[in-house]
């Protein structure tokens, strides 16, 4: 068993934003903007890439606190004039746009907002970009905690989830790299499905992979009744609920992928041993399923943190 690292009193771990964002811009930014930009900049620094060919962000709730503030100002204005700034900083594509503005990047810029599948949709687009010839794509997922505007606990049918914030970014590249680059084998996002396990098996089959080849399954689900089914198939020894270290936000599968990259880059794992293939199993919303297959075996697209 892995001990939980978070509890209701936990706070978001943040870097010194002054190292990544100029003071004037930083003063006007919300938490999700600041943590996303810092994470993206650090990702680019680690990968020694000055400019990506594309920037793609997945976010379910966007700048949710700014959205709430904007709606409050509409009510307070009582049909009076409003500052356009309140609207501009509240849109879902604000994060991707701010990253591009700070970097003076004029490449492909896209935001996906498909609730719990937002990151998987972004990752799929990044893979298509690489397949079409782009060399380096910056892709990430980010959301901030805000429960008064979006009732996540009701949507997830679980009153006990611990709502948190988080951001994770990666460089997806079609260039073979040295060091800790990890293979992204495939990603899938499936909505309005009834049999999540059957869908995941079809996904593995399509990638010429069997359940026996999966060394570790990082999963998230709000309906714990489905856990027995997952356990009976993969075995409890290969399962880990990544929400024990991420808490709950709609794009936390991006954090799970970051965790998987760390595990695959620093083998053997102290608990799970030799891990060569990881499946991220995102069933946070019961009828949605996001799957990310990572490994060190197939020489396909790669991820460098």
* Interval 230-244: pLDDT, tens: 999 999 999 999 999
Are 285 and 228 in contact by the 8 Å Cβ rule? The answer is: no
End-to-end Cα, the chain, rounded Å: 27
CA 237 – CA 242 distance, rounded (Å)? 14
Q: How far is CA 293 from CA 101, 161, 178, 288, in A?
A: 32, 26, 20, 17
Residues of the chain within CATH 3.40.47.10 domain(s) are: 17-173, 182-304
Average of per-residue pLDDT across 39-46: 95
Q: What is the predicted pLDDT for the residue at 149?
A: 66
What topology does CATH give the domain 17-173? Peroxisomal Thiolase; Chain A, domain 1 (3.40.47)
183-201 per-position pLDDT tens digit: 999 999 999 998 999 999 9
42: tokens are 């650090």
Q: Give φ, ψ of 43 to 5 degrees.
A: -60, -45
CA 136 – CA 175 distance, rounded (Å)? 8
Nearest to 247 by CA among 256, 239, 258: 256
277-283 and 216-221: which strand pairing?
parallel
pLDDT averaged over every residue in the chain = 88
CA 260 – CA 51 distance, rounded (Å)? 25
How many C-beta neighbours within 10 Å does residue 212 have?
Answer: 8
Side-chain-side CA neighbours of 253 within 13 Å: the count stands at: 37
Model confidence band, residue 11 (pLDDT cutoffs 50, 70, 90)? confident
Q: What is the predicted pLDDT for the residue at 10?
A: 74
Q: How far is CA 239 from CA 114, 128, 217, in A?
A: 26, 30, 5
Average of per-residue pLDDT across 86-113: 93
Place of tokens 């009732």: 151
304: tokens are 């460098």
216-221 and 166-173: which strand pairing?
unpaired
Q: In the 8-state DSSP scheme, what is residue 86?
A: H
Model confidence band, residue 270 (pLDDT cutoffs 50, 70, 90)? confident
CA 51 – CA 47 distance, rounded (Å)? 11
The alpha carbon dihedral of 137, 138, 140, 143 has a sign of negative
182-304: CATH number: 3.40.47.10
Where in the chain does DSSP place strands (E)? 54-58, 108-112, 136-143, 166-173, 182-190, 216-221, 239-241, 277-283, 289-295, 302-304
Q: Please tell me the pTM assigned to this model.
A: 0.91
Query: Which of 142-146, 222-226, 246-250 tops mean pLDDT?
Result: 246-250
Q: In the 8-state DSSP scheme, what is residue 229?
A: H
112: tokens are 């996906």
Q: What is the predicted pLDDT for the residue at 302?
A: 44
Nearest to 61 by CA among 83, 85, 94, 15: 94
Under DSSP, is residue 141 helix (H, G, I), strand (E, B) or coil?
Answer: strand
Percent share of the chain, pLDDT over 70: 92
């Amino acid at each position: 068993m892995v001990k939980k690292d978070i509890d209701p009193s936990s706070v978001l771990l943040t870097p010194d934003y002054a190292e990544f964002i100029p003071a004037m811009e930083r003063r006007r930014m919300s938490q999700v903007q600041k943590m996303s930009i810092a994470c993206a900049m650090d990702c680019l620094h680690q990968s020694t890439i000055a400019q990506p060919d594309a920037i793609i962000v997945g976010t379910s709730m966007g700048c949710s606190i700014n959205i709430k503030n904007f709606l409050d100002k509409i009510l307070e204005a009582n049909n009076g004039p409003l500052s356009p700034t309140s609207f501009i900083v509240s849109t879902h594509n604000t994060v991707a746009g701010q990253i591009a503005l700070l970097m003076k990047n004029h490449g492909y810029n896209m935001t996906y907002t498909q609730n719990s599948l937002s990151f998987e949709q972004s990752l799929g687009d990044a893979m298509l970009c690489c397949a079409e010839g782009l060399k380096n794509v910056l892709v990430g997922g980010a959301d901030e905690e805000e429960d008064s505007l979006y009732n996540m606990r009701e949507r997830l049918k679980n009153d006990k989830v611990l709502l948190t914030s988080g951001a994770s970014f990666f460089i997806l590249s079609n260039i073979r790299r040295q060091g800790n680059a990890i293979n992204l084998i495939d990603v899938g996002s499936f909505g309005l499905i009834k049999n999540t396990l059957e869908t995941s098996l079809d996904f593995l089959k399509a990638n010429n992979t069997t359940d026996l080849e999966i060394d570790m399954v990082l999963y998230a689900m709000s309906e714990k009744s489905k856990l027995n089914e997952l356990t009976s198939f993969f075995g409890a020894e290969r399962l880990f609920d990544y929400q024990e270290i991420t808490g709950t936000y709609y794009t936390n599968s991006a954090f799970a992928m970051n965790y998987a990259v760390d595990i695959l880059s620093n083998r053997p794992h102290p608990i799970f041993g030799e891990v060569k293939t990881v499946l991220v199993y995102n069933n946070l919303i019961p009828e949605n399923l996001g799957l990310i297959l990572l490994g060190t075996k197939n020489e396909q697209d790669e991820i460098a943190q």
